[in-house]
Amino acid sequence: MTDQTSDDEFFDANDIDQYNTDIQRELMRTWNNFARQQFGRTKLPVPMFDRSSISIWSILKQCIGKELSKVSMPIVWNEPISFLQRFSENVLYSYLLDRADECTDPIMRMQYVAAFAASSISSNIDRLSKPFNPLLGETYEFVQDDLPFRYMSEQVSHHPPVSAFLCESKDNGERWRFYGSILPKAKFSVKRMEVNPKGLLTLELKRHREIYTWESVTCTIHNIVVGRLWFEYHGTMEIINHSNKMKAILNFKPYSWSSKELHKVEGFIFDSQKHKLRGLYGYWTDSLYSIDIERFEVFLKQQKKEAKSASKCHQQQITNSPTTATNDTDNTDLDEELPDVDPSHEQLNLPPNSLTLWRIMPKLEYGLQYYNFSLFTMALNQLTEENKNNRSSLPPTDSRFRPDIRKMEEGDIDSAGQEKDRLEEKQRAVRRAMEKRREEWQPRWFRLIKHTVTGQDVWVSNEKYWQRNWANCPEIY
């Protein structure tokens, strides 16, 4: 069945049910295989060190009102990976892009793309440590024989800090390409820190001649002064298919004190005439579902009714509380308490025939000892025997060769801090020398162009990285 004939063919209810069943069976088969995937080592060399005696507020109070990229943070609040490595976690569920490439139904393709976009932040669950800021010219690649994608990235600018990346199918991107750049903007206030990852993300499905674009959503970290740290993603993600004008709009809901729900995502897929085609619902920390539009509308109405009732009950409890009038207002202003989440939200009671588009990999039982890393993250900074025996297999700028990160994951915090300071001073010295010579930094593997569809500036690969000629790489470590 081709795209041109799919709208003309007639499907009865049994055909549709069988179609959905076949899709669900294939998705679950793929997910089960993926969940058993081994990426490399299963633990870091040593567990995470104890931070219980360290005050984050004593560190962050000097940063209020400043850009995070312009502040040198103590190494104790880092995790032993670079931001380039951490961003590679966004493409972990790229098998969804393989499914989209194989699919002839444009609505189903959009569902896969929306699931991939929602899944891209799922690796951040309970990750409150800061990755190392990339050095100018730093690169990172991730390729495995048994994974269907290859990923590479480069720090193309330091002020402002811009990281460019390319993830593509292993056939030189003949099936799909996902690329873009991220300029993380973060600001502190007395109660919270807000991180806004600026940057257009682009997906090309080559066989279907489709181009999708979207931007990520805002992350807010609460209780940076007192109380237990917690964070949430919130905002609207608009995924546009520029070829047929179809859209998926995902709303990442802020925490609701009345309904006790956190991390919820809900939205719709619209056609070019703004007609609703499918409902999308789930939690970015767990899963995303696709639902028949009529059933989804009824489902949402019921949820709103229940939320209104819960809100009324919550307000009555506050009014009747004997401590309401005597609460310390200063503490209330400073401490945004850890959300009281209703665990029953996991029992979604979704309408019949809802499709499970994506489900997160199970968390590691021992992950808390290792910065809440997943199995995938554990492998990101691993130097394989091939890398050790043949260092030319990677460029000398690869994040795996950063001595500060290597020292930290080995548990030598003092040496890691010294190496971090040395690398940052070396970078400043190079910048001063270039300014004196009136030279501008030129990225090795990316170039800045006008996006063919949006007209925005976008960093794209210059197609030279995988030739693996490292002769002109800078010595940044």
Q: Could you give all domains of the chain from N- to C-terminal order, each with its CATH number?
A: 20-47+71-307+352-467 (2.40.160.120)
- What is the predicted pLDDT for the residue at 470? 96
By three-state DSSP, how is residue 28 classified?
helix
- What is the predicted pLDDT for the residue at 8? 43
Taking residues 412-416, report their average pLDDT: 95
| 138-167 tens-digit pLDDT | 999 999 988 889 999 999 999 899 999 999
Q: Percent helix, strand and coil across the chain, each rounded to 5?
A: 35, 25, 40
The CA radius of gyration of the chain, in Å to the nearest whole number, is: 24
Residue 181 binned pLDDT confidence (cut-offs 50, 70, 90): very high
pLDDT of 328 > 70? The answer is no
- What is the predicted pLDDT for the residue at 2? 44
Taking residues 440-456, report their average pLDDT: 93
CA distance 109 to 132: 35
Taking residues 358-387, report their average pLDDT: 92
Residue 225 binned pLDDT confidence (cut-offs 50, 70, 90): confident
| 80-138 tens-digit pLDDT | 999 999 999 999 999 999 999 999 999 999 999 999 999 999 999 999 899 999 999 99
Q: Which helix (DSSP H) or strand (DSSP E) does residue 62 occupy? A: none
- Asked if 230 and 339 count as a contact pair (C-beta separation under 8 A), the reply is yes
- What is the predicted pLDDT for the residue at 329? 40
- Asked if 430 and 439 count as a contact pair (C-beta separation under 8 A), the reply is no
- What is the predicted pLDDT for the residue at 352? 85
- What is the predicted pLDDT for the residue at 57? 60
pLDDT of 63 > 70? The answer is no
pLDDT of 382 > 80? The answer is yes
Which bin fits 51, alpha (ψ -120 to 50), beta or left (φ > 0)? alpha
| 271-326 tens-digit pLDDT | 999 999 999 999 999 999 999 999 999 999 988 887 776 666 656 665 666 554 44
Residue 61 binned pLDDT confidence (cut-offs 50, 70, 90): low
CA distance 267 to 256: 17
- What is the predicted pLDDT for the residue at 271? 97
User: Residue written as tokens 């931070």?
Assistant: 51
- What is the predicted pLDDT for the residue at 6? 44
CA distance 114 to 268: 10
Residue 11 binned pLDDT confidence (cut-offs 50, 70, 90): very low
Residue 427 binned pLDDT confidence (cut-offs 50, 70, 90): very high
Residue 473: partners with Cβ closer than 8 Å, 6 or more residues away: 137, 395, 396, 397, 444
Least confident of 241-245, 257-261, 351-355, 366-370: 257-261
pLDDT, mean over the chain: 86
pLDDT of 7 > 80? The answer is no
- Asked if 183 and 169 count as a contact pair (C-beta separation under 8 A), the reply is no
Taking residues 237-264, report their average pLDDT: 91
- What is the predicted pLDDT for the residue at 318? 58
Taking residues 220-239, report their average pLDDT: 89
Residues in the chain: 477
Least confident of 99-113, 268-282, 329-343, 378-392: 329-343
